[in-house]
A and B are shown apart, each in its own frame.
Chain A
């Protein structure tokens, strides 16, 4: 093994500088919670020659609330975000999605940024982030840019990050009155598993009418999907049976899953409809509470 470097910069600029200098060969890895990276190193899938630990950069560990609009650092661990009581009141769906990932031990380390950048099609927090309407702030050698979560991924393990770019934080829109989000995933066990299907729904209700809706699916395509046809079917409705049915069919139609040991194509498609309806019910219940 040639010389492996471990660096832990204190500013984003230093991290970007180090990352952009060496990331061309793909041999430099960003270390956030390490719950994916360390397993990849141990199994030989990844053998980085430089590891950049980003957890000493203040902005990546910060949680802030600007008049109801949350900014969550990319490296904030699930267990830490869970203690931020008000975040869970605003975005229960995002929090429950993040908290579904692994055990308490994993939660002590795993972050939204890591889940996003690992780019697994089954990453639990991604559909919930998409449904929330959050954007991700990215910093690279050419400066800063923002991207909606649904534009971030290209496919399994592949993102739209350019050479040297690092995810800094997640910016959530101000939560609307009478809106609520929810995330559900289907796994054959009760805990500690990877989604067969994941579905996140975020709805806003005015006078019993759906005025806004975002629906996202995970684990049913090469990347998590924003299902715009499902939103269209819901917006303007009173969540009557026909509208919900139409939206669930839009979910099924959006699926482009694989057959694997966790589930077949037809099973995943079917479950996407069921899971959407259940997540919708939960989101509506939360929206009605405020």
Chain B
């Protein structure tokens, strides 16, 4: 079957790949591009583990067809640390022990980063609603919320 050729930008890098019409971005990232930081859990857009941003917009990569990403800008968890240095959220997640098994963590980080890019001073309620599409079965969410608050504070202090 004829494959679709797609040219897109992933974490700032021009990337070309071939995909089938039913392939999702998640399929291509994990299977073909060896970018397994983005996790697959529910595959139906409920859990947020596969969160990425596309043209700056937070989305579930399991609900985006790979063929749709032509000329788009994709950001994944792999692009979060810069030059071997953690993003502030990655640092505060560790400091606050905001993870246990770690499967939800990449999605949590990508989603939280997208919130803080929009709002560097979110209330606890705003954080909880923003992350409502990211399920975590280990932490009970409290540590995650605190880590996001701490990261927001650091961002504000350094602004």
Contact = CB atoms under 8 A, between A and B. Distances in A.
Contacts of A80: 57
**Shortest 5 CB-CB contacts between residues of A and residues of B:** A103-B133, A108-B57, A6-B21, A4-B21, A108-B59
Contacts of A235: none
B132 A38 contact: no
B106 interface: no
A239 B57 CA distance: 43
A104 B65 contact: no
Interface string A1-22: 1011110100000000000000
12 contacts: A8-B68, A31-B65, A34-B64, A34-B65, A35-B45, A102-B45, A102-B133, A103-B134, A104-B111, A105-B48, A105-B59, A109-B63
B58 A108 contact: yes
Interface of A: 1, 3-6, 8, 31, 33-35, 38-39, 41-43, 51, 53, 55, 77, 79-80, 102-106, 108-109, 191-192
B24 A38 contact: yes
A42 B57 contact: no
Given A79-B57, A105-B45, A38 B67 contact: no
Given A102-B133, A104-B130, A38 B63 contact: yes
Contacts of A53: 65, 67-68
A104 to B, nearest CB: 5
A31 B21 CA distance: 12
A103 B63 contact: no
B21 A51 contact: yes
Given A106-B60, A109-B57, 8 more contacts: A6-B21, A8-B67, A8-B70, A34-B63, A51-B21, A103-B45, A103-B48, A105-B63
Contacts of A34: 63-65, 68
B45 A106 contact: yes
